[in-house]
Amino acid sequence: MTARSHMDTVVVKYGGSSLAGLDQIRAVARQVAGRHRAGQRIVVVVSARGDTTDDLLGLAAQLGVTGGDRELDQLLATGETASAATLSMALQQLDVPAVSLTGPQCGILGTGKHGAAIIVAVDTERVSAVLQSGHVVVTAGFQCINANGDTVTLGRGGSDTTAVAIAAELRVPLCEIYTDVLGVYTADPRIVGGARLLPSVDIGVMSEMSFAGAKVMHSRAVELAAMYGVRIRVAHASKPGGGTVIGSQNGEEMLEASTAVMAVVHDPDVARVTLRVRAQPLDVLQALARSSLPVDMADLREGSDGESAFQMTVRRSDTGAVRESLRETVDRGRGTLDVDASVGKLSVIGTGLLSRPEYAARMVSALATADIPARSITSSQSRISVTVPDSELVRAVGVLHDEFGLESTVGDTVNQV
Amino acid sequence: MTARSHMDTVVVKYGGSSLAGLDQIRAVARQVAGRHRAGQRIVVVVSARGDTTDDLLGLAAQLGVTGGDRELDQLLATGETASAATLSMALQQLDVPAVSLTGPQCGILGTGKHGAAIIVAVDTERVSAVLQSGHVVVTAGFQCINANGDTVTLGRGGSDTTAVAIAAELRVPLCEIYTDVLGVYTADPRIVGGARLLPSVDIGVMSEMSFAGAKVMHSRAVELAAMYGVRIRVAHASKPGGGTVIGSQNGEEMLEASTAVMAVVHDPDVARVTLRVRAQPLDVLQALARSSLPVDMADLREGSDGESAFQMTVRRSDTGAVRESLRETVDRGRGTLDVDASVGKLSVIGTGLLSRPEYAARMVSALATADIPARSITSSQSRISVTVPDSELVRAVGVLHDEFGLESTVGDTVNQV
């Protein structure tokens, strides 16, 4: 951690869709060059260009590698490294001194599984020295170095996390994330025509939105920002001034909010798992923890006959791994494991939701009126989630967006970008 | 340097054309797998796949970067890194444990300019540990790490040098280089139909051939092999048993050679530079040395009036850099610098050439008979070179191949591969 706050330093992340073509790279370089000439010290974090990551994943799949593999990480990391070097060249062509750094060169230290690593620290010595010498730093996101000297990746969207980690370590108060959407909306604007761009979102609310399935920000990046007090601006690469600022909002701002429900988030990548087994709840929970797979909407009921019923949602792509991790528990407890992959998850996100119990009732009632059956309700202060048939998921988002008046609060509706 | 010779360890390099398609990668993986199962410890060094390097150079050129640049090295190195990870996955798919290493991870330590670095040492600790654990090591060639922690590349063909350096440091007696030609020929088989594959070549002769323009091996790789007593087998990737063995041959073998001329080598990437200037020869030589550009056929004549005439050949692509490095000397000495880019270099390679002066005479005479003017003759014990008009270069190779009877010595002529 550096000793003082670099108030003149900015950390800016550009997503792969903003760097796909050479013209786009040149446009990003012009933006960065303008800020460099205005006297800012700039760390740019980049994702792999365009479809690079998908192409590399396709290559690996042809060789039987589908994820969580050391060699896949070596391969995938080349995408961000090439992207960083390319943007650095484009900056130099504008006479802006620039140095690209891989994650390892940038001191991004990580731990954990390949494809799902966690940043443990950022050794900013080199970044600080390069900034000090008047260069723009262009860092390859998504990748870090582990204790073996191997490259490990953070999983998809991990470049956001890289940017926030660098901002946190450099004590830069605002991290700017430029992407292909205009910011954070009250619902996915591709689904709800009247979805409204939120000029600001509390970071706790954003964390729930990301976890509930909002794609605009990687949930770990949001959690890291919350932990280190970094504010995030999410904006479209071509409109750097606008977008949504994500930060901790004080109580006063919260009281002024006209409604406690701020957004509707949907997630189609969901399967509901139901486990009935004679086992201690602890055994089931430990088996799940060992799998390191994200689980949501967990619900446990112990029956009087010693049989427990567990219900939870998992990522649809994780169902095989979940089955595998629970196989022994199921076999030993002579139980059953059912997977329903025909559901989607629908969440309303806000603050103090449990303090006003009418929200859960309104949510289920509005869906019922629209003939959409809601199941597996779970709620917390910041989120109420239900599962609905996935064929009804998109319609359900619109129903709830209307029910909670998210469009009508202000007039500036924004169409799909 | 490891303490003992790894007699059971092999170092094998595959060129980019042998790894271009997924089927080729699988074929290489099967070869390596067979040797792994036979009990060999294997270090595979790979180049970037197919046209990757050219594609990346094209991208960089569009951003105004043409060579010798830190960012270009960051970009280019992704080619070999991806290639290594991909081959490693293909090996794992055959149930062969494999670990890919970048040049830096592999402990390839280098120094010097970007795009033209020199390997100073190989820290084999990690390679040895990975081999010891029963894994195949797949190393990205062409790249090393410098004292700043930056990636620097060795220049084109540098993967050969990586392979020889690892073999030298591991004390592996034979380094196998698999490429898209069958081995070393008496002349380029694409030009001379009767060119003959040489089953073995003295390493000193090979060094001259590489420097004179033979593309089959990188000249620095040959020099490194000579320095550390590593023998090299150059063969086609699909015919691993054959090819040419390059090594130091003892006097007896040399005496048995029926002719002292072993090959004709041509190099079209040549320009002749003529410098007339009032300057100390030392000034000119120092200016050239500072440029670090390869110069051949240097000839210096001091005139009685204090004006010196220098003549030399340089790579045609280097002429701009040569002009730049000599500009000050030319200006100060009120001299002139002429560049003739319409020539090619033609060399006969052998042993003891100066001991038998008739070879130079036969060379020039045969060319004259064929109406090909030869200029700028330079000779050493192992090479006689002339420049000829580049329009006559290909024909001249055939004339000399005939003159020195390189085809007729044995019957096994090999057609173009």
Q: What is the DSSP string of B273-286?
A: EEEEESS-HHHHHH
Q: Give, in degrees to the nearest 5, the angle at Cα A136 between A131 and A142.
A: 100
Query: What total of structural domains would you count in chain B?
Result: 1
Which residue among B65, B78, B100 sits closest to A89, beta carbon to beta carbon? B65
In angstroms, what separates the C-alpha of A170 from chain B's closest C-alpha?
Answer: 21
What number is the average pLDDT over the span A248-271? 71
Mutation site, A24, A57, A75, A125, interface B, largest B CB count within 10 A = A75
Assess whether pLDDT exceeds 50 at residue A55: yes
> Could A22 and B63 be called an inter-chain contact, meaning their C-beta atoms sit closer than 8 Å?
yes
Q: In this predicted structure, what is the pLDDT of residue A417?
A: 31
Contact at CB, A149 and B105, closer than 8 angstroms: yes
Contact at CB, A63 and B89, closer than 8 angstroms: yes
Cβ(A367)–Cβ(A388) under 8 Å? yes
Chain B residue whose CA is closest to A71: B85
Query: Quick one: pLDDT at residue A304?
Result: 65
Taking only the tens place, the pLDDT of each residue in A97-149 is: 999 999 999 999 999 889 889 899 999 999 999 999 999 999 999 999 999 99
In sequence order, the 6+-apart residues with CB closer than 8 A to the CB of B333 are B277, B278, B279, B283
Token readout for A33 is 């060059």
Token readout for A306 is 């010693």
Q: Which residue of B has its CA nearest to A57?
A: B86
Interface of B with A (CB under 8 A): 22, 25, 56, 59-60, 62-65, 69-72, 74-75, 77-78, 81-82, 84-86, 88-90, 92-93, 98-100, 102, 105, 126, 149-150
CB contact (8 A) between residue A65 and residue B92: yes
| A182 close to A234: Cβ distance less than 8 angstroms | no
Q: Is the pTM of this model over 0.90?
A: no
Instruction: Indicate the angle between helix axes B70-93 and A52-62, nearest 10 degrees.
Output: 30
- Residue A64 to residue B93, Cβ atoms within 8 A: yes
Name the residue among A71, A98, A102 with its Cβ closest to that of B100. Answer: A71
Q: What band does A259 get if pLDDT is binned at 50, 70 and 90?
A: low
Cα pseudo-dihedral A43, A44, A48, A51, rounded to 10? 170
Of A213 and B107, more confident: B107
CB contact under 8 A, A105 and B59: no
Q: Is residue A79 part of a domain?
A: yes
> In one letter, which amino acid is A225?
A
Q: B98: nearest CA in chain A?
A: A71
**pLDDT, average across residues A247-274:** 73
Select from A141, A252, A266, A253 the least CA-distant residue to A192: A266
Tell which residue, A157, A249, A237, has the closest CA to residue A199. Answer: A249
Q: Place A415 in a pLDDT band, splitting at 50, 70 and 90.
A: very low
Report if residue B282 sits inside a domain.
no
Instruction: Please answer yes or no on whether B86 and A72 come within 8 Å at the CB atom.
Output: no
Chain A residues touching B69 at Cβ < 8 A: 89
- Assign residue B119 the CATH number of its domain: 3.40.1160.10
Q: Is the pLDDT of residue A255 over 60?
A: no
User: Is the Cβ–Cβ distance between A19 and A46 less than 8 Å?
Assistant: yes
Question: What pLDDT, on a 0 to 100 scale, did the predictor assign at position B159?
Answer: 94
What is residue A31's predicted lDDT score, i.e. its pLDDT? 96
Out of B65, B75, B85, closest to residue A74 by CB: B85
Q: Which of B62, B81, B88 is opposite residue A78, by nearest beta carbon?
A: B81
Task: Give the pLDDT confidence score for residue A3 in this predicted structure.
Answer: 41
- The Cα of A216 is separated from the nearest Cα of chain B by a number of Å equal to 29
Residue B294 lies inside a defined structural domain of this protein? no
Tell me if B85 and A98 make a contact (CB, 8 A cut-off). Answer: no
Residue B301 phi, psi dihedral angles, 5° rounding: -130, 125
Which value, to the nearest 10 degrees, does the dihedral of the CA atoms of residues A149, A155, A156, A160 take?
A: -70
Q: CA-nearest residue of chain A to B130?
A: A148
Q: Show residues of chain A in contact with B63, CB under 8 Å.
A: 22, 25, 86, 89-90, 92-93
Quickly count helices (H) and strands (E) in chain B: 12, 20
pLDDT digit string (tens) for chain B, length 417 residues: 444 444 589 999 999 999 999 999 999 999 999 999 999 999 999 999 999 999 999 999 999 998 779 999 999 999 999 999 999 999 999 999 999 999 999 999 999 889 989 899 999 999 999 999 999 999 999 999 999 999 999 976 799 999 999 999 999 989 999 998 899 999 998 889 899 999 999 888 898 898 888 888 888 899 889 888 999 999 998 887 789 999 986 544 444 444 578 899 999 999 998 888 887 766 777 777 777 777 788 777 766 677 777 888 888 988 888 888 888 888 887 888 899 999 999 999 987 777 777 888 889 899 999 999 988 888 877 888 999 999 999 999 999 999 998 885 543 433 333
Distance (Å, whole) CA B36 – CA B34: 5
Q: Among A64, A75, A149, whose Cβ lies nearest the Cβ of B85?
A: A75
The pLDDT value recorded for residue B284 is 76
Asked if pLDDT for residue A410 goes beyond 50, the answer is no
Q: Answer whether residue B277 is part of any domain.
A: no
DSSP A296-363: EEEEEEE-TTS-EEEEEEE-GGGHHHHHHHHHHHHHHTT-EEEEE-SEEEEEEEESSTTTSTHHHHHH
From the list A78, A88, A149, the residue facing B71 with the nearest CB is: A88
**What are the tokens at B18?**
């042998």
User: Which structural domain range is residue B179 located in?
Assistant: 9-256
pLDDT at B303: 66
Between strands A343-350 and A383-389, the pairing is antiparallel
Which is it for strands B9-14 and B41-46: parallel, antiparallel or unpaired?
parallel
Size of interface A-B (CB pairs under 8 A): 100
> Does A233 score more than 70 pLDDT?
yes
DSSP string computed for A16-42: GGGSSSHHHHHHHHHHHHHHHHTT-EE
* Position B116 in a domain: yes
Residue from the list B56, B82, B149 with its beta carbon closest to the beta carbon of A75: B82
Q: Place A281 in a pLDDT band, splitting at 50, 70 and 90.
A: low
CA distance B114 to B103: 14
Residue A258 in this model has a pLDDT that exceeds 60 = no
Query: Given an 8 Å threshold on Cβ–Cβ distance, is A92 in contact with B71?
Result: yes
Least confident piece of the model among A46-55, A170-179, B217-226, B284-293: B284-293
Q: How far apart are CA B182 and CA A173, in angstroms?
A: 61
- Beta-carbon separation of B89 and A72 below 8 A: yes
Q: Kindly list the residues from chain A whose CB atom is less than 8 angstroms away from the CB atom of residue B78.
A: 78, 81-82, 85
Are B59 and A86 a contacting pair at CB < 8 A?
yes
Any domain includes B145: yes
In the sheet that B108-111 helps form, which strands lie side by side, from edge to edge? Answer: B118-122, B108-111, B143-145, B151-153
For residue A237, tell me if it sits in a domain.
yes
E-strand ranges in B47-187 read: 98-101, 108-111, 118-122, 136-140, 143-145, 151-153, 174-179
- Respond yes or no on whether ipTM tops 0.95: no
**Which residue type sits at A299?**
D
Cα angle, residue A55 at apex, residues A50 and A60 outer, rounded to 5° = 150
What is the side-by-side strand order in the sheet with A271-277?
A: A295-302, A308-314, A271-277, A336-340
Tell me how close the Cα of A127 comes to any Cα of chain B, in angstroms.
13
pLDDT at A308: 75
Helix (H) or strand (E) holding B48: none
Structure tokens at A25: 């790279």
In this prediction, residues A91-100 reach a mean pLDDT of: 97
Tell me, yes or no, whether B137 lies in a domain.
yes
What phi and psi values does residue B8 have, to the nearest 5 degrees? -95, 5
Q: Compute the nearest-CA separation of B180 from chain A (Å).
A: 24
